[in-house]
Amino acid sequence: MPKIKHCTESMNDAPNEKNTKQTKCRRARDNAFLFLESVSIRGCNRIVKAQNRFIRHMWIWFLIITSLFLCVSVSRLISEYLNYSVNIQTYVHMDAPANFPAITFCNHQPFSEHAYKLWRLGEVISPTQFNRVLRQAADRQANVTHDTMGGLSPEVAHFAFVFDSVKLYYQNLNWPYQTGLGHQRNESIYMCLFRHLGGRLSIGGSGCHDSMIRVTLRSHPHHFNCHTVSIDPQYGKQVQEVGLIIWLGPQENYDEMHRQAFLLDLFDQAYGLRVAIHEPEQLANLDSHGIQIEPGRMNELNFEVVRNVHMKTPKNPCITKPESKYQDLDSTYDYEFELCLNTLVQTEVVRTCQCLYAYLPRIAVPNKTLPYCGRFLTEAGQQLMQMPKVLQRMRCASDVISQSAHLKKLYETEGLCLRRCESVDYVSTVSVTTWRSTQWQLHWSQETAAALDVMDTAPLFSYFRTNNLSSVLGHYDTQSESPTGKYGFSDRYTYVLVKRKSNDTTVKAENLVLTFNALVSRIGGLCSLYIGMTFAVVIELIEFVYIALCQGRFEHSKPKTGVTPKQPRENIGNNI
């Protein structure tokens, strides 16, 4: 009897499993038809209500094709949004002056009169001695290698021509003799003037010493001493123009016996100044922003202020109000994107080659253990180092610098250096003319300005009581003291006038081409165009899930008293 009972139960379970599968299939089919009939997507209810198979298949293919087009279009829109493309909107802030720019000027004639004194005393190797050491080394090397006029060995060519330049002369001096050979503040700046908002004029004497002025020194491998004139931020927006009368150094024939060197610098030599205007407290890029200034002329630089506002995006991040400082020898400067990159490249040169590259920010003061990469003279300055080691160091530095573009891109990608979210450019135009100055005007301007600086009344009373102001010309040495003759400006001086075009500030702000709101709007338009889908579909999905779950629970809890007759498909919609 137990065996018969077991067989009977197995036979009863088989139909139950079959009925369960049929019930699940019927429920899934009914739910699918329920969803298609109730959803607001264009074409879904037509699939359910189609009168024949052809029309039903036509609507199915319509829904498939339009959905594919919609997916492709939406993916392209999202890809465009993730590119974070920007356009630049330009507008003008009226009467919103920015701080007056800093002015960096470098003399093309790098050596001051004090340099000749040091050379005469033998404290520093002179260019003539420097050239002689190189020519003697080239001669010795040529004798050793038996070079002829038919060709020179690379070592001889380096000694005779490549090493004989003012930039390598700079690198072979012991620090800080470079600053001692260059022009000093008091001798370079003969006179300065400042015109404030409202027309008020201030005049300063030699060196331009004033509480609102800051003059800093920068050592440069080509110009030796450069000077940066900046305005105190408290007065930066009030200053309208700055004028500088600058001495260009000794005459060309001054003590020539000490300057017989730098043969191939012939094509780089100039007479005058190289001037750059830039944001205060930043290191001027003389190569890209420098302007040539003529001697003996009035050189007017009119500038307009352009403020650049960069959009901060994941693809192109930027930094807001950076506080990092960067070093160049014993001077510190504010953060700037290019300065940050160049400093990291210099760090790589120091790490790889154990030397300083002179044309990048010097992160340390050169010394015996960390010399310039172009250093080939001993500390005494009269003998050459071992040339294989010198040439190896130069090649190493050259290899690193040749990869600087790749290194800078890598540093930017890794986020070590980021662009500033806001920066200021000073777009300038230059005009040159003859300056109609007279000697007696310059003399009395300087005398009175110097007297006001030190509160000395004697020169002022002399100016007040002199009947003939030009009488000073009779006992004034015009050749050595004055920047001008009686009615002509001397070529040993130049006049640089930097002035605003207006008090307006041009703003160039980046804006996203496709914002998030525009992305949502365009996706909504595509959904409506292709399949007529709106956000109501979300509610319809929630409604469908709720009804399907509730209906499933009801059927599961319903007592199985008999077999429910199968409903026709046409009446599904009426039973919802």
Last residue of a domain, one of 362, 393, 420: 420
409 in any annotated domain: yes
288 in any annotated domain: no
> Stretch 229-246: mean pLDDT, rounded?
94
Q: Which single residue is written with the structure tokens 């990291």?
A: 344
Alpha helices in 104-237 (DSSP H): 113-121, 127-145, 154-157, 166-171, 177-181, 185-188
SS3 131: helix
Express each pLDDT in 353-371 by its tens digit: 999 999 999 999 999 999 9
Express each pLDDT in 534-552 by its tens digit: 777 778 788 777 777 776 5
381: left (phi over 0), alpha (psi -120 to 50) or beta: left
Q: Find out whether 177 and 124 touch, Cβ atoms under 8 Å.
A: yes
Q: Which of 290, 295, 251, 253 is nearest to 272 (CA)?
A: 295
First-last CA distance in the chain = 49
pLDDT at 157: 74
223 in any annotated domain: no
Q: Provide the whole-model pTM.
A: 0.81
Q: Which residue has the higher pLDDT, 70 or 575?
A: 70
Residue 567 has pLDDT above 50, yes or no: no
Q: What DSSP designation does 158 have?
A: I
Residue 328 has pLDDT above 90, yes or no: yes
481 in any annotated domain: no
483 in any annotated domain: no
Q: Which residue has the higher pLDDT, 26 or 209?
A: 209
User: Count of residues for the chain?
Assistant: 576
Last residue of a domain, one of 394, 420, 446: 420
Calculate ∠ Cα 176-181-185, nearest 5°: 95
- Residues near 283 by beta carbon (within 8 Å), at least 6 away in sequence: 218, 326, 328, 333, 336, 339, 361
pLDDT at 570: 44
Last residue of a domain, one of 420, 438, 470: 420
Express each pLDDT in 399-412 by its tens digit: 999 999 999 999 99
Q: Locate the DSSP E strands across 13-142.
A: 86-93, 102-107
Residue 315 has pLDDT above 60, yes or no: yes
Residue 162 has pLDDT above 90, yes or no: no
Exposure b/e, 390-408, CB count within 10 A at least 16 = b: beebbebbeebbeebeeeb
Number of domains in the chain: 2
Q: How far apart are CA 181 and CA 124, in angstroms?
A: 9
**Residue 4: pLDDT band with limits 50, 70, 90:** very low
Domain extent, residue 400, equals 314-420
114 in any annotated domain: no
Q: Which of 153, 108, 98 is nearest to 503 (CA)?
A: 98
Label the pairing between strands 493-512 and 86-93: antiparallel
Peptide bond into 176 cis (omega under 30): yes
152 in any annotated domain: no
Express each pLDDT in 427-460 by its tens digit: 999 999 988 777 777 777 777 776 666 666 777 7
> Stretch 31-49: mean pLDDT, rounded?
76
- Residue 53 has φ and ψ, to the nearest 5°, of -65, -40
97 in any annotated domain: no
